[in-house]
Amino acid sequence: MPTLLIHQSFGLSRVRNLNKPCSLSGLHIDSAHFRGDNLPNPIPVKKLEESAFMSKQINRRKFIHYSALVSSGTALAASFEEKALLAQTVETNKDLAKVANSIPRGKIGKLEISRLICGGNLISGFAHSRDLIYVSALLKKYFTDDKVCETLALCEAQGINTAILRVDQDTLRILKKYRQEHGGKIQWIAQARMTESNIAEDIQPAIDHGAQAIYVHGGVGDDLVKKGRVDLLGKALDFIKKHGIVAGIAGHSIEVPKACEKAGLNPDFYMKTFNSKRYWSAGPAERHDSVWEETPQETMAFMENVEKPWIAYKVLGAGAIHPQEGFAYAYANGADFICAGMFDFQIAEDVQLACKAILKSKDRVRPWMG
């Protein structure tokens, strides 16, 4: 089976078939290998260490094989980008043992949280894949219940102790399975929707099923602030905190934290989209589910003076920005935590890149919160 490298942040980004690339709207994919009967069997949680070792050996063998092809002239058509991805994979494998369980942590309320958090859009099938209409179904086919459990276990093995997940029946079922059958301990920050007439719509089920923290969904935050109903965000915070649970507010627009701060609301944390906006689908063309941070400089300047933990999301523009660049930009410019969606085979690399980015950002302008 060809080597596949896929990366995203709260959505799909790049898929690379290093042996047989083909191009589709800037996305390289050999879709035949994502048929249901060809999907890899999930790795039992109890064999994670063995699987990690085997993954390293497989990647090394594929690298040697691919290098031989390049040297013989067979793969001369390989792009510069593919060669860079290949070199990055080898470097990552070499250093994995040095970073396992070393991701720094911070405090949000009473919780101790890894500064890299596992995002949940991928496992829910929300790809933000622009005009590629097959991707959401592909993700749902790949992320079986067992694959999600495996992914969460790999996060924990690499020191990521928290995941941000939706509140729906799939999430509740999988979390129950992960905890009861696999002994999973990962903390759940619940992404909660609400309406003006029903604040508790997602919040109550999240409380009932053991969420350690809950925040109001970014789209909801945007909408309520636009309507001038910041008071409803305050009521949601009060409802969550009344149950002794860490409470937050999210927004894609910088007007959300601005309005909350002006109104004197006291969330335990903010979630605010943040990236450099330096990718082709960010414009100036018309937006098609492609831009989630319109004002990075304004976000940076405002959040510099906000004395609450900030979880940055969409830091990779839903996969349009490489994590080496995206993580470094977010941490260096003020984000205290990053939420990034990850495939199982990307976790170790992401932890390594996050650790390096945090280390390089130790002297940043905004003080670390949490």
Number of domains in the chain: 1
> For residue 209, which of 163, 161, 152, 171 has the smallest C-alpha distance?
171
- CATH number of domain containing 307: 3.20.20.100
Check if the beta carbon of residue 4 is closer than 8 Å to that of residue 33. Answer: yes
The pLDDT of residue 278 is 58
In angstroms and rounded to an integer, the radius of gyration of the C-alpha atoms of the chain is: 20
**pLDDT at 370 (0 to 100):** 87
Write out the two tokens for 39.
């999907």
Question: What pLDDT score was predicted for residue 6?
Answer: 38
User: Domain limits at 309?
Assistant: 1-370
Tell me, what's the pLDDT at 358?
97
Report yes or no on whether pTM surpasses 0.75.
no
Give the pLDDT of residue 85.
54
Q: What's residue 340's pLDDT?
A: 94
Which of the residues in the chain have pLDDT under 70? Answer: 1-101, 125-131, 276-294
Q: Which of 32, 41, 26, 24 is nearest to 2 (CA)?
A: 32
Residues 211/188, Cβ–Cβ less than 8 Å: yes
